[in-house]
């Protein structure tokens, strides 16, 4: 998946703001070329009592889908942070994941975003995440 440096910084800023809670949001873009992020869209984490969960409301999903439709994009991914935890999907992440969608996880150590991994459910059984290479570019080539 490809993301620009500026887009990744938006996610890092969000992760910093919500620390020690998880941040979450949408990656709008296209599935072409292994996934191209065009927009980072924040969502509100509805979970406020645990630091290891995120919940996005159905309403926000609908709004993100509408924004994507209007821009001619798809929701290609969901991002969230892992405060003081590695950027590896949790059991909850696994159970709630959708097929086809990229899951970008940023680990935050003592408030500072450290590193990021991207995952996607494997197309075949058993249900598991596979690691997806993330390419950070200055900007996307003008298509
Ligand atoms: Zn998680």
Tens of each residue's pLDDT in the chain, 143 residues: 999 999 999 999 999 999 999 999 999 999 998 999 999 999 999 999 999 999 999 999 999 999 999 999 999 999 999 999 999 999 999 999 999 999 999 999 999 999 999 999 999 888 999 999 999 999 876 54
Q: Decide: helix, strand or coil at residue 104.
A: strand
Sheet of 74-83, strand order: 129-132, 112-121, 102-109, 74-83, 24-30, 36-43, 2-4, 135-137
Which residue is catalytic, options 17, 22, 99, 110? 22
What residues have a C-beta under 5 A from ligand 1, the ion? 90, 93
Q: What domains appear along the chain, each with residue ranges and CATH number?
A: 2-137 (3.40.140.10)
Question: In whole angstroms, what is the distance from residue 140 CA to residue 15 CA?
Answer: 23
Backbone angles phi, psi at 9, to 5 degrees: -65, -35
Q: What is Dmax (Cα atoms) for the chain?
A: 44
pTM (two decimals) = 0.95
């Amino acid at each position: 998946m490809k993301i620009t440096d500026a887009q990744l910084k938006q996610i890092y800023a969000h992760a910093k703001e919500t620390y020690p809670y998880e941040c979450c949001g949408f990656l709008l873009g296209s599935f072409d070329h292994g996934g191209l992020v065009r927009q980072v869209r924040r969502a509100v984490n509805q979970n406020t009592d645990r630091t290891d969960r995120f919940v996005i409301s159905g309403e926000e999903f609908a709004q993100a889908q509408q924004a994507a439709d209007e821009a001619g994009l798809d929701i290609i991914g969901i991002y969230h942070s892992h405060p003081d935890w590695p950027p590896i999907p949790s059991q909850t992440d696994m159970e709630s994941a959708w097929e086809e969608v990229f899951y970008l996880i940023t680990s935050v150590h003592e408030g500072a975003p450290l590193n990021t991994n991207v995952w996607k459910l494997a197309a075949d059984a058993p249900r598991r995440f596979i690691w997806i290479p993330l390419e950070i570019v200055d900007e996307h080539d003008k298509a």
